Structure formats: structure tokens, C-alpha cells
Amino acid sequence: MKLATLKNARRDGQLVVVSRDLSRCVAVPEIAFTMQQLLDNWADLSPKAEAVYDALNRDTVDGEQAFDQAQCESPLPRAYQWADGSAYVNHVELVRKARHSEMPPSFWTDPLMYQGGSDDFIGPRDAIVASSTDYGIDFEGEIAVITDDVPMAITPEDALNKIRLVMLVNDVSLRGLIPNELAKGFGFFQSKPSSSFSPVAVTPEELGDHWQEGKLHLPLLSTYNGKLFGKPNAGVDMTFNFGQLIAHAAKTRRLGAGAVIGSGTVSNKQGTEHGSTVEEGGVGYSCIAEIRMIETIRDGKPVTQFMQFGDTIRMEVLDEQGQSLFGAIDQQVIEYKS
Amino acid sequence: MKLATLKNARRDGQLVVVSRDLSRCVAVPEIAFTMQQLLDNWADLSPKAEAVYDALNRDTVDGEQAFDQAQCESPLPRAYQWADGSAYVNHVELVRKARHSEMPPSFWTDPLMYQGGSDDFIGPRDAIVASSTDYGIDFEGEIAVITDDVPMAITPEDALNKIRLVMLVNDVSLRGLIPNELAKGFGFFQSKPSSSFSPVAVTPEELGDHWQEGKLHLPLLSTYNGKLFGKPNAGVDMTFNFGQLIAHAAKTRRLGAGAVIGSGTVSNKQGTEHGSTVEEGGVGYSCIAEIRMIETIRDGKPVTQFMQFGDTIRMEVLDEQGQSLFGAIDQQVIEYKS
């Protein structure tokens, strides 16, 4: 099943069921008005939504409309939980080298995860608004899942069965603010502004063979200012799968239905020390910080700038037939005006 | 105005308006079913709720019932944002000394704040459930506010006008898990299980002279296993007021209506180096970690244990007439059984 949330005059938007090919959609107010309502009652309501999904894929249905990704909120416009892991340890290693900070060996066995803010996600086509490019604005392409209720101390294996939906996420980071925040010891806050998610959230079942062992086995395409910047496979070099990430988040507490758990920036080693760019024949990267690190290693200093006002970033996952599975995040950076 | 949320069969509970003396309450489904609904439309709906509050204080009203704090959820049983500052820098200094970690001077000018998890707050009389006392279970008594929508880059002065409700919070910490998490550099996660809030949330206007310059000017009473453990004044030694804390949280992003911002553990220096216990004639502390630090300074090692299964913690604020303003958090620690 594929689901999305259309913008309307309300904070939580309008839940719609989306056709497999992303061409059409239909609101289902008789089932749930919002994505959170559906997640709050998933066991009862999702079979009804699945029935609408099947009907929509077979034929036209009453009330259907063209599906316009530009009218989408993130699938959850606001959520009660957003916890972001760093499962692609290659990325962590690179970013820490860029900060001249050693990576402890435990990072290969104990997942890194930060508690994100979830009260104000922005839509997949909404602008990334920042007060200054001095903040070091960077995109970060990731996979995320939405869970059902998760009991405390769940095992990684059982946690895999709590995944209800899969999405893409652009977890924007303000790199210039990170060193000071991390030095304070309380983690990220100002350095992590509002994230955006793909227009469409997809059930693991719908992903078929592309979803195996709690990982999405397809390339995440990041296109920066119209040029392909990265195509790493999200199923490769993911040290911790989503079951492990959820279990980590739930070690000392329950997670409520609708909790969003992120993978961290998708990154492939490609059999080299740290991967290589698309131009060099590699799979490239899902954030600017990684290429700056490569430049530092190779040339002594980074030359690629972080994002400037007017820059655009597009993120998408295509199947083997070139069909977009989640729709595309496509955002422009603009200057904040009070 | 005083508001609370009663437990019912639903995730967000039942909003009620509570009488000034906390003896009676009435549901207001004609205004809002839940606290979040009221906060989402505060400008339109709060005058209607205020009218009910006035009527309830004057006389009996249709549908009123006895107010039972034991039936309460936290005012927001789940929220979209929970950001906790450390405004009582005395506390930060002590806790860091206990961790043998120097406090940078910038901590007196740049607020510390961590991003908390908000998907599963527990009720003010719900048990604190933990898998092991080896985690170093500690209570932390704090003040918290709930905001309206807050624009990005708001000033501290303007932020004061975005405060809609004031509460108490027990921000439970698992001290034993903190050093490892902070060493990883991503802040708290497993070391901060579910928080609970006072039964009643109160508007700043209702607090009158006790609310000045974005601070609550009354002692926070913490009673540990039936014995008064702390009574520091929340208006004293609060280095950053709630306007400054909200502005810090909103520097690079908006905050959504219903965002919960915490003060950090209330702590008074009392003209001594680090305060003193109630037994010694001082105002005591709002968490166990502080008294353990005092013991370390005085005796070379801590003797007070962290919380054990069966231990109880009660937190309350009384006015000069001994009237409880927010009701009481009153929790027992119990062992997690899967």
C-alpha cells in the first residue's frame, strides 16, 4: 500500500491512498482523516485502506483525483517521535574525520542515534529556510520507517514486525553549528532544523523483494542542482538494520504508534577506502560533508561548498523499471526573512 | 485557568477544566476533546475555556465531577516536541563535577538544551518502570512550559508571550547510561526514559505574581520516600528564563503549538558553594545526583544510592496558603517485566 498526506488548511493534512504508479489518489475519510489516526488504529484500519488501494490500482474509484506530489505534506506533517540512527558507519567515520574526531570501535556494534525534533516537519517540496549560509547547510539523504506501538526492551527480530511504513528523508544539517553543539555534550539541536520526507510512504509488503532483513535494497538517488550527486544502495553497508535501530530506541522506553526512525545518511564504501564520486565512476554520496572529506584527504582541503541560497536538492528511489517508489523530495534553499 | 487531561480509553485522554482549588473539574467537548486540540486553536478556544473556568470557580456547573489527580494523564499524554534546558547552571556544574568533566564558561551565557522524546509521556501517578537499578535511576524536578506556535528566530522577549501553560515535570534520568551516551557525542537517548508532568497545567496569568520575567517564583518540593528532599525556589538561580530557552530552541526552526520546554533541574546555590541538604537547614536538591556530588566533595565518595524498586518520589508546588497549584507528581519505581 502507498499513502500520502495532502496539504489542506489543517496542521495534519489530509490522508490519501495513492495508486502504485503515483498517478492517482483518493481521500478515505470513512477510514481516517489523517495519517496519525490510521497509525493509531493500524490493525483495525489498515485492511480497509488496503482494500481501497487494491480497488484504486484495478480501476477508477469514486472521489479519486490526480496525485500531485507538489501538494504533499510529509506523510506525517508532525510526529510524536523522530529518532535518527547512523547505520551507515562509513558515513560516521568520514564525518568524524572531517571534524578531526576519532571514531570509537564500539560504533560498529552499538548504534549511534540522536533524538530529533518532530513538531514541524516540512513538506517534500517545501523550501529549506535558513538565516545564513554560514551555518553550513547540508542535505542528508536517508531511509526512514514509521512504527506501530513498540514495547520497551523489544528484540531486534520482533522490532522488524513493528514497521508499518517506509519513506525517504532529507535530514538537513547545519554543519557549522555542529561542533559547538557537540562540544556542549547534549547532542544536536539548533544544528538539526526541520526535516522533510518523501511524498509517499510505502508498506514493507508493497516493496516486495526490495525490502529484506529490515533494509531497502535499492539506490537512493540524490540530485544536487540538477546533477546526479549520489546513488549509493541503501541495502549495502548498512551496519544496523531497522530492527536493530528500533530496538536501540526502545531499550528503556516504549515507542508510540507513528514513531519515525531514520537510518542515517546512506553511504557505500564501494570496496575503496571511502567510496568515490559519480564523476569518477563511483556511486557518490548522500550529503556534501562526505565529498568535502574526500577532498580534504586528497587535496588537503575541501573545495565543494555547502548549500547556497537558490540551490536545489532532489532525492528519489527508482525500481528496476524506472518507476519512482516514494515520489521525490525536491527542495530549494532560501533565505529566512522575519 | 487550570487544565488537566483525564485517562480514558484513548491515547490523548479527555481534556478537563479544573477548579482553582483542584477539587472539581468538567469536560468541555463543545470546546475541545483534547489538550492538543485546544493548543492547536488557542486564540479561538481558550477564551471559551476561560469562561468555563470562571463559572466553575463561582458555582457548580453542569457535568462537573470531583477532580481525582490519580486519574490524570500528563496534561499532554504525548506531544510533538519536548526540549529540556539546563537553566539552573548550579545543577549542571555539580553534575559535571560528578562526572569529572569541566564546565565551559560559555554555559553561563549559551543555554544547554537537549532534544527529548515526547511520544510516550507517562501520567503523574504512573510507575517509573525500569529493567535494572544498575541504570542509576534518578528523579529530576523541573518546571516546564507549553508554547503556542513560535516563529523561527524569535527574540527572548517575544518568546515570553508564546507561553500558554506552566507545569511541573519529573525528567527521570538513568545516570548509569549517561557517560557512555555522552561519550558517543549524540546526546541523551536511552538515558532519558519517559517523563511525567504534574496533573494540572496552569496559565501564566493564573499564577499572578508567582510568574515574573519568565520564571516561577515558588519552591519546588521534592519528597523522596516520604521525606522532604528539596525545596529550592524555582525563581532563584535560574540563569536563563523561559523566554531565553524558547528562543534558543527556535533559533533555526519553528516550534509547533504544544511544544513543551523544560527548565532543567531546579537548583539553588543558597550562598554556599553548592547548596546544602534540608537536614542541614538548606533547601536541599531536586535530584539524587546533586547530593551524591556533595557527599563526594565532603566524604570522598557518594553514599546516597540512586532509586531502588519500591522507592517513591513526590513533586509539588504550594502557594503561601499551602494550596497545591499544579497537583502532585507521585511515582513509584517498579521493575520492568516483559
Q: What is the pLDDT of residues A282-331, one digit of tens each?
A: 999 999 999 998 888 788 899 999 999 999 999 999 999 999 999 999 99
Tens digits of per-residue pLDDT, B170-200? 999 999 999 899 888 889 999 999 999 999 9
φ, ψ at B298 (rounded to 5°)? -85, -45
B140/A91 Cα distance (integer angstroms): 35
- Cα A26–A256–B286 angle (5° rounding)? 145
Instruction: Calculate mean pLDDT across residues B251-277.
Output: 89
ipTM of the complex: 0.94
B5/B37 Cα distance (integer angstroms): 12
- Tell me what pLDDT residue B101 has: 77
Pairing of strands A14-18, A2-6: antiparallel
- Tell me what pLDDT residue A294 has: 84
CA distances from A318 to A4, A18, A164, A198 (A): 18, 17, 20, 13
- Tell me what pLDDT residue A275 has: 66
- Tell me what pLDDT residue A90 has: 83
A263/A240 Cα distance (integer angstroms): 8
- Tell me what pLDDT residue A147 has: 98
CA A323 distance to own-chain centroid? 19
Q: Check if the beta carbon of residue A254 is closer than 8 Å to that of residue A149.
A: yes
Nearest CB neighbour to A153, from listed B40, B114, B131: B131
Question: Cβ contact (<8 Å) for B190 and A151?
Answer: no
Domains and CATH numbers, chain A: 2-67 (no CATH), 82-335 (3.90.850.10)
Closest CA to A146 of A13, A63, A46: A46
Look at residue A97 and tell me whether its pLDDT is greater than 80.
no
Look at residue A102 and tell me whether its pLDDT is greater than 90.
no
Question: Cβ contact (<8 Å) for B193 and A255?
Answer: no
φ, ψ at A148 (rounded to 5°)? -80, -175
In eight-state DSSP terms, residue B29 is T
Question: Cβ contact (<8 Å) for B80 and A83?
Answer: no
- Tell me what pLDDT residue A298 has: 80
A107/A112 Cα distance (integer angstroms): 7
Q: Which residues pair with B143 in a beta bridge?
A: B168
The percent of residues in chain A predicted with pLDDT above 90, rounded, is 84
Any idea which residue has 507517562 for its cell?
Answer: B122
Give the residue from chain B lying closest to A147, CA to CA.
Answer: B119
Q: Check if the beta carbon of residue B176 is closer than 8 Å to that of residue B302.
A: no
3-state secondary structure of A163: strand
Q: Check if the beta carbon of residue A106 is closer than 8 Å to that of residue A280.
A: no
Any idea which residue has 506501538 for its cell?
Answer: A149
Contacts of A207 (CB under 8 A, 6+ apart): A166, A216, A325
Higher pLDDT, B231 or A294: B231
A264/A169 Cα distance (integer angstroms): 9
Query: Which residue out of B80, B109, B133 would a mutagenesis test of the A interface target, given it has the greatest number of A Cβ atoms within 10 Å?
Result: B80
Question: Cβ contact (<8 Å) for B187 and A185?
Answer: yes
Look at residue A224 and tell me whether its pLDDT is greater than 70.
yes
Contacts of A153 in chain B (CB under 8 A): 131, 336, 338
For chain A positions 282-311, those within 8 Å of chain B (CB to CB) are none
Give the residue from chain A lying closest to B12, CA to CA.
Answer: A40
Classify residue B143 by burial, with Cβ atoms within 10 Å: 0-12, 13-18, 19+: buried
Which three three-digit cell numbers place residue B40? 492547536
Residue type, B261: I
Among the residue ranges A116-130, B16-30, B260-274, the one predicted with the least confidence is B260-274
Any idea which residue has 516546564 for its cell?
Answer: B144
The percent of residues in chain B predicted with pLDDT above 90, rounded, is 84
Tens digits of per-residue pLDDT, A26-55? 999 999 999 999 999 999 999 999 999 999
Structure confidence at residue A136 as a pLDDT band (50, 70, 90)? very high
A151/B332 Cα distance (integer angstroms): 20
- Cα A79–B126–B74 angle (5° rounding)? 45
Question: Cβ contact (<8 Å) for B118 and A81?
Answer: yes
- Tell me what pLDDT residue B298 has: 80
A135/B253 Cα distance (integer angstroms): 13
How long a stretch of residues is chain B? 338
The percent of residues in chain B predicted with pLDDT above 70, rounded, is 98
Concatenate the DSSP letters of all residues of A169-234 into one string.
EE--EEGGGHHHHHHHTS--STTS---EE-SEEE-HHHHGGGEETTEE-SB-EEEETTEEEE--BT
Look at residue B260 and tell me whether its pLDDT is greater than 90.
yes
3-state secondary structure of B114: strand
- Tell me what pLDDT residue A280 has: 86
φ, ψ at B181 (rounded to 5°)? -65, -45
Q: Check if the beta carbon of residue B191 is closer than 8 Å to that of residue B178.
A: yes
Question: Cβ contact (<8 Å) for A120 and B185?
Answer: no
In eight-state DSSP terms, residue A72 is B
Question: Cβ contact (<8 Å) for B189 and A114?
Answer: yes
Contacts of A253 in chain B (CB under 8 A): 117, 120, 193-194
Look at residue A188 and tell me whether its pLDDT is greater than 90.
yes
- Tell me what pLDDT residue B295 has: 87
HSE-CB of B280 using CA atoms within 13 angstroms? 11
B187/B55 Cα distance (integer angstroms): 46
B240/B156 Cα distance (integer angstroms): 10
Look at residue A185 and tell me whether its pLDDT is greater than 90.
no
Closest CA to B192 of B242, B124, B139: B139
Look at residue B152 and tell me whether its pLDDT is greater than 80.
yes
Residue B83: which H helix or E strand, with range? strand B82-85
Look at residue A255 and tell me whether its pLDDT is greater than 90.
yes
Q: What is the mean pLDDT of chain B?
A: 95
